[in-house]
A and B are shown apart, each in its own frame.
Chain A
């Protein structure tokens, strides 16, 4: 079955420190992977995606994500966290033939000043 997992409900990071939000996936075929961010009372906003090519994908607001095929992971990273990065982050995967995108449960990121 196609699935995406975010093992951490919440991640706390001090401002200025690097951050990582974890994501693992299970999908048949080549994965199309996405990260979205949700601010309070808003819809989801696209951050970045991996389709093919370089395993390190750069996205909006200084975020990047590393695709690791052997570990079936697509962790979101940022070298230096900002308080304004505090939000709910969703990893997502395209299911292929079903042609829909499924989302993980989300990880709440708290950046501490």
Chain B
């Protein structure tokens, strides 16, 4: 029973390129959360999705960032025209229902480096 799978684990991009980060939730989990971790800043909420729906994207920058969780396939966090400030670890977590009392299961993260 695989946990939350994120890929790639490490991604290097040059400024202006696009980054796509993928997350496959745990089997049976239909809720996905994306967080960004920057040094000295802890874990920042970005977006909360259910299948085919964005529930809360209040933590997403308004420009260049988008997320989806299609009916089939993994959730995708897409960053267009990356800048150096996008360099961070991006973590995906999943739960079987809305968060509430449910424990989030985290993936190992995708580390984006922008040159």
By the criterion CB–CB under 8 Å, are B104 and A46 in contact? yes
The answer, yes or no, to whether A14 is at the interface (CB within 8 Å) is no
By the criterion CB–CB under 8 Å, are A99 and B106 in contact? no
By the criterion CB–CB under 8 Å, are B43 and A106 in contact? yes
Partner of A42, one of B44, B58, B98, B108: B108
The answer, yes or no, to whether B63 is at the interface (CB within 8 Å) is no
Contacts A44-B43, A102-B45 given: A32-B101 contact, CB under 8 Å?
yes
Total count of chain A residues near the partner, CB < 8 A? 24
User: Chain A residues with Cβ under 8 A from B105's Cβ?
Assistant: 46
Q: Tell me the smallest distance from the CB of B110 to a CB of chain A, in Å.
A: 10
By the criterion CB–CB under 8 Å, are A103 and B43 in contact? yes
The answer, yes or no, to whether B69 is at the interface (CB within 8 Å) is no
By the criterion CB–CB under 8 Å, are A90 and B42 in contact? yes
The answer, yes or no, to whether B18 is at the interface (CB within 8 Å) is no
Partner of A90, one of B40, B43, B56, B99: B43
The answer, yes or no, to whether A43 is at the interface (CB within 8 Å) is yes
User: Chain B residues with Cβ under 8 A from A101's Cβ?
Assistant: 33, 45, 99, 104
A residues bordering B, Cβ < 8 Å? 6, 9, 32, 34, 36, 41-46, 49, 51, 90, 94, 98-106
B residues bordering A, Cβ < 8 Å? 4, 6, 33, 35, 40-45, 48, 55-56, 58, 91, 93, 98-101, 103-109
